[in-house]
């Protein structure tokens, strides 16, 4: 039922659809590692459960959990969430999970990218690495092995031939040091089916993923891009967002359109508290969490689900503005917030912990 | 998606269909425990893989494996077998797995029986116990918790209201000591939807399951029962089979039919060799395997799959006779043998390591 295909999605007529296209289900992983999630991941599990609960009101959701966590996950999740044994090292389904591709004729396959834990943020990624194959087995889908180290959060597509990414991540020497930009572009075309790659520079300030695009900017629909923003010229985020804005305004997409850019004001700086830092088990080979460090908080790290959009909130007056602005430009869906701080403490946010499995159907 | 139902299958119009009804898939578990399977389960894994391969030619098959064994299982199984993480203590899907029930209107649910490792053949059955719930999650099926300790191998149904079982097992004080025969019958009616329970006495000689019916006798179709047999009056199996024969000839089924009984001659006694016994890790709380012990070899422990029937063979001239006889009475399907000795060394055979998931469709 599950076959490794030696061709590429592009040659077989498959492509990665936009995230807003209809989903068959959302995939998530249950957090548990005490050297990344404080207090043995208890608060993070509550935060993930709230995200899962929110999404499961809109579409089916499968939560993969490590064997020892399955009962715990089951007890903390709504009954209509499917909980399956799916061992992982950490819990970032966006990044270690598969990218699903479709052919417009009802078929769905998946791309199994190579993975190295964001250039080695922790040392053992042997379980994360095989998550896509386990998803393929569970769903009975054929798959492609892409010869490129890539996390799902480092690319966004508009579903009409355009891909957004950042130089900071995809050209980072800790990912694919042997590959030049043109070779990486060629792999992206082969494995996502896009025509045109738009390169931004850096990602959000202090983003430990080396600047994943999904925290900085995303498509709202073809031709319209949302960008995290600040008007404070003294904020280290300012030059990053400004550069991204300038590039976006210069780009045209695969269809020749200029891009509209919607600025979404970032929350006020979110710093790790001493209490939060103290709750993380210190392990030498894992990135440390230090009190006072600024986290890469961004509303852009939201997730489309069928009929909805789930936006991380930070107990910040700007939360409401972000939701309101996105709602205005996404009138056909319900935009709403779910607290994101505990997820951010682990190094990402709602988009990073979810992965959409599209239906094969055209809409 | 998966809900615990507080009613019973019977009150909801659900019943356990006959094994020969069309399957959606077969479920199996991958063997690994070194205190039951010799040489760290290497030979058993080959034997299970051969069974899976044979069945997968006829219908989809899912192999559940412990996390550390998934790669090994994947590498030893045909590509069209689905391999999923499904932790278990041992590998007897028939016995620790669910019983699927249907309502004749396309719906499938499952029964989660209580489980105590055959009255305590080993001490920790915490993983085996939750296998049915994991299957329910994986398939998104609603389920019933039956308040009865029961292994799937201890019952056979004809799909038309009749259930076969043995007193040795279901009335054993190591299973449901607080329940009388009439109470057990009532539970069987509630959870399998049958009308009439036919009680045989003992199971096959030396069967460590306390006489599971699925090693002794089974339905070939309503009104026709196959029975393991010997004409040797000095064989300890003789009085057991004779008693079963006599009872079967006295019974009428739920539809009022007398039963035809087809005798299937047992293989010559199969004894554990010294080499085989030596390969099993000795652990105090697990049943030991001793050289010279006679195993409960029986051709009755075969499995129906879509268009086929997989019969254990023992390198015995009687293998061919058993297959030929079954083929004669099952002309609409392909009856064929797969070596069963390595499975038998673990305490059961092909029927014990498989579990059918029926389609919801009437045929």
pLDDT in tens, B317-346: 999 999 999 999 999 999 999 999 999 999
Smallest CA–CA separation between A64 and chain B, in Å?
A: 10
* pLDDT band, very low/low/confident/very high, at A253 (cuts 50, 70, 90): very high
Q: Which residues of B are catalytic?
A: 352
Which pLDDT value is given to residue B282?
A: 85
Q: What residues of chain A have any CB closer than 8 angstroms to a CB in chain B?
A: 1-3, 60, 67, 70-71, 74, 79-87, 130, 134, 137-138, 140
Residues A85/A67, Cβ–Cβ less than 8 Å: yes
Which chain A residues are closer than 8 Å to B2 by Cβ? 79-80, 82
CB contact at 8 A, A231 and A245: no
Backbone angles phi, psi at B303, to 5 degrees: -130, 130
Which chain B positions have a beta carbon within 8 Å of A2's beta carbon?
A: 79-80, 82
- Show residues of chain A in contact with B61, CB under 8 Å: none
Size of interface A-B (CB pairs under 8 A): 54
Average pLDDT in chain A: 96
Nearest residue, CB atoms, A85 vs list B3, B79, B87: B87
Say whether B85 and A79 touch across the interface (CB within 8 A): no
What's the gap in Å between the CA of A131 and the closest CA on chain B?
11
B159, B214, B144: which is closest to B17 by C-alpha? B159
Q: How would you classify residue A252: left for phi > 0, otherwise alpha for psi between -120 and 50, otherwise beta?
A: beta
Q: What ipTM was estimated for this complex?
A: 0.77
d(CA B202, CA B214) in angstroms, rounded, equals 12
Q: How far is B86 from chain A (nearest CA, A)?
A: 6
Active-site pick, A96, A218, A305, A352: A352
Residues of B in contact with A67 (CB under 8 A): 67, 85, 87
Measured between CA atoms, the residue of chain B closest to residue A80 is B1
Tell me if the domain spanning B4-358 has CATH number 3.75.10.10. yes
The neighbour count for residue A48, using CB atoms within 10 Å, is: 27
Confidence of residue B363 (pLDDT cuts 50, 70, 90): low
Give the pLDDT confidence of B49-81 residue by residue, as tens digits: 999 999 999 999 999 999 999 999 999 999 999
- For residue range B276-324, list pLDDT tens digits in order: 999 999 887 777 889 999 999 999 999 999 999 999 999 999 999 999 9
Which residues from A are below 8 Å from B140, CB to CB?
Answer: 82
- Which chain A residue has the Cα nearest residue B135? A84
Check residue A363 and give its pLDDT.
60
Contact B2 A82 (CB under 8 A): yes
CB B167 within 8 A of CB B200: yes
Q: In this complex, do A84 and B82 lie within 8 Å of one another by their Cβ atoms?
A: no
> Does the distance separating the beta carbons of B87 and A67 come in below 8 Å?
yes
Confidence band of A289 (pLDDT split at 50, 70, 90): confident
Angstroms from B333 CA to nearest CA on chain A: 24
Is residue B176 within 8 A of residue B149, CB to CB? The reply is yes
Question: Contact B280/B289 with Cβ under 8 angstroms?
Answer: yes
pLDDT in tens, B131-170: 999 999 999 999 999 999 999 999 999 999 999 999 999 9
What's the 3-state SS for chain B? CCCEECCCCCCCCCECCCCCCCEEEEEEECCCCCCCCCHHHHHHHHHHHHHHHHHHCCCCEEEEECHHHHHHHHHHCCCCEEEEECCCCCCCHHHHCCEEEECCCCCEEEEEEECCHHHHCCCCCCCHHHHHHHHHHHHCCCEEEEEEECCHHHCEECCCCEEEEEHHHHCCCCCCCCCCHHHHHHHHHHHHCCCEEEEECCCCCCCCCCCCHHHCEEEEECCEEEEEECCCCCCCHHHHHHHHHHHHHHCECCCCCECEEEEEECCCCEECCHHHHHCCCCCCCCCCCCCCCEECCCCCCCEEECCEEEEEECCCCHHHHHHHHHHHHCCCCEEEEEECHHHHHCCCCHHHHCEEEECCCCC
């Amino acid at each position: 039922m599950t076959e490794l295909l030696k061709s590429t999605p592009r040659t077989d007529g498959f492509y990665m659809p936009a995230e807003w296209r209809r989903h068959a289900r959302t995939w998530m992983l249950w957090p548990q590692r005490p050297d990344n999630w404080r207090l043995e991941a208890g608060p993070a599990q509550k935060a993930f459960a709230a995200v899962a609960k929110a999404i499961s009101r809109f579409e089916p959701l499968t939560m993969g959990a490590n064997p020892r966590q399955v009962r715990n996950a089951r007890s903390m999740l709504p009954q209509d969430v499917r909980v399956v044994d799916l061992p992982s090292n950490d819990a970032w389904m966006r990044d270690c999970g598969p990218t699903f591709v479709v052919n417009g004729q009802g078929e769905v396959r998946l791309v199994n990218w190579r993975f190295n834990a964001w250039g080695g943020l922790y040392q053992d990624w042997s379980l994360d690495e095989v998550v896509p194959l386990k998803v393929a087995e569970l769903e009975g889908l054929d798959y492609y092995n892409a010869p490129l180290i890539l996390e799902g959060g480092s690319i966004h597509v508009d579903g009409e031939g355009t891909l957004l990414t950042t130089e900071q991540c995809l050209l980072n020497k800790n990912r694919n040091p042997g590959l030049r930009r043109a070779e990486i572009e060629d792999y992206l075309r082969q494995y996502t089916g896009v025509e045109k790659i738009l390169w931004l520079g850096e990602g959000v300030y202090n983003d430990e993923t080396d600047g994943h695009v999904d925290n900085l900017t995303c498509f709202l629909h073809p031709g319209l891009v949302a960008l995290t923003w600040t008007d404070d010229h003294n904020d280290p985020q300012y030059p990053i967002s400004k550069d991204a804005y300038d590039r976006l305004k210069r780009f045209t997409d695969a269809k020749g359109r200029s891009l509209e850019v919607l600025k979404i004001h970032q929350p006020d700086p979110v710093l790790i508290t001493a209490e939060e830092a103290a709750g993380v088990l210190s392990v030498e080979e894992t990135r440390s969490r230090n009190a006072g460090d600024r986290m890469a908080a961004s509303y852009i790290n939201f997730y489309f689900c069928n009929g909805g959009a789930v936006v991380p909130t930070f107990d910040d007056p700007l939360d409401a503005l972000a939701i309101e602005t996105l709602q205005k430009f996404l009138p056909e869906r319900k935009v709403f917030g779910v607290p994101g701080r505990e997820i951010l403490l682990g190094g990402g946010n709602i988009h990073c912990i979810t992965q959409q499995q599209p239906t094969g159907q055209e809409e």
